Structure 1
Amino acid sequence: MNIKDHLADYRVHLTLERNLSVHTVRNYLSDLKPFTEFLSNESINSIDEINRIVIRAYVSWLMSGRKTKPTTKSSKVGHERTSINRLMVALRSFFRYLTKEGRIAPNSLWKKGSRQSRTLIPKTERKLPRTLDQVEVSALLQSVKIRKPSATDLNSAIQYRDLAILELLYATGLRISELCSLKIEDLKNKHRTLRVIGKGAKQRDVIMGEPGRQALEVYLKESRPLLASVSKIKALFLNKFGYQLSKRSIQSMVRKYGLSTNNSRVHPHMLRHSFATHLLDGGADLRVVQELLGHSSPTTTQIYTHVSLSQSRKIYEKAHPRAST
């Protein structure tokens, strides 16, 4: 079998056996494209030819030989170290699959828990996620100008929808993919909860505050009926044509309102970061925040404790009389 055959089988494995979403499968396979490009450049056709020397050469090529975004003006040579880490994670997963299926001999380089493959990956500084403070969040939410829609006023209907989305992103910490996939039946507005399907098809309930509940209630009563050109569509959030709102549309919408508050770098995931950080600032338990975010490991959630500490330090240095002496 050649590399393409192994990758085709790997796609089936990710989709059917691991039950990953279409988006996740696409990302896994996309992160393997540089590796197949490298193998083609080196005329390596068999999986059996790949060893530690080849992998080391691959990492070196990623760092200083491969052109990124070759068709754009921002093209450059070499990936960022964070990108290389992500590509190597995808490669490890692929080779562990090949080992498990008996297609290659066991190799400590790919063994789970082994540090051998990690020594090939350049170390990176872990950047703290960017967040909005509470004043900035309030300004973002207030930037949506609401007026009661008439039977034909789609612009006002869209503004009601936008406010509900912004309130929900901040109130629940949802990923943008989770928000897009919400259906009417997932909403339990009376109890201020949502049923969400997260990464790995894991189901969880998330809680929203009263402002989020009210914004959703108004959207469902005043806005969604105007947008729903297809009466049987189940998606919670709809575009102006009456179909499910896309991730790209939500990203553009959040960016638009961010620009209106002179904060040009706002994106949906920043509201997720802000949700987690503000909970921890308010004294929430780390395990509770982990559950609300849908993280499988508390290690992933711990990054927000560093953000919270960073915010605490700023407040301390501003407020304490002897902080700067």
Structure 2
Amino acid sequence: MTVDIKTPIHMIDSNSSLSRALIYLIEHRFWSESTIESYQYDVKLFEKYLIEKGYEPTLESGQHLSLVTKWIAEQTETHTAYKTILRRVAVLSSLYGFYKELGITHTNVFKAIRVPGEHSNSLSRTLGFEDLKKVYGAIEYLKTREVHLEIPSKLLLFTGLRNHAITRLTVNNIVWDKELIVYNEPVKNSKNKYQLLPLPPIFFCELRKYVENMELKAEDPLCYGLKGYPLKNKQLNVLVNRINDYLNWNGESRVTPHGFRYSIATLLDERGLPLDTIKYLLGHSSKETVQIYLKSNARKIMQIRTELTKVEYELEQSLSRNREEKAQFIPAESKDMNLPYSEEFLLQLSLNNPKLLEQVMMNHYKQ
């Protein structure tokens, strides 16, 4: 194809179709006919996907991280060749990178996307919010059966940390007065990944009690496997598989530890957090001190903390509803037991001060 018509840049904006935007890009590149045809084919393919999902095939529509992630996942599920997916992502990244430089688009999500490796067998599906509710409920249930995996599982869920990062955390990584975790580990052949990860309030309280009850020191590992040894990658997989088994998630339904990373990024994107804030959560290269980093990234940290608090609240609400539904099946005589205080208060007392609870109940039944 030979492009003869010059498209003025003022005719292109975020509402322009991808095909029209590509024409202007081609006019400023010295590409062969085969390259142009390849670009046109891949852009048309993405436009078709957007239309199928109910979106206009515009530059604006292609800026949603969750949408692009699902596009790649669908290609993987239909066994599209790894190199083909890689090429399509590179084409769209080139298009969006061009218009980001011109200030017409505000981001290039294709640059943030990682295509699953050619020989990778660890690809995990992305969990929707209803799935996360089930995971949250599974963690709660397994805890009642003395299967304690809530700390590493919720760290995966709320921080998006990679497997190796979870296993390297120590108590010293917690900044207690700021209610966040600092992760600053050198990565081989890479810059340091320096992250300040805000934690939602209920989980942070759980974490504090956990450290106190375990009597952990600053240099001690933060996470442990089911047998009580410091957590390693294989043990982390075992923990997540306990959740898979409880929820009867088999085959493609199973989730891996890394799947939580995809899931929190997708969830925050769907809830409207800016891409630069999500990328911040997933890792940032820096040598700044904690205080400087806190100051320079205060807005992003606050955005993440606020949204994670909302997510946690909704997950806790789903647990409460489940408890209420189960309570409906408790025999009437059990419900009518004469208790000195509400069941909820006594439950909290059992967690915070079991000795006091014992004394209260003994005094009550002596009366």
TM-score scaled by structure 2? 0.39
Q: Please give the TM-score of this superposition, normalised by the length of structure 1.
A: 0.44
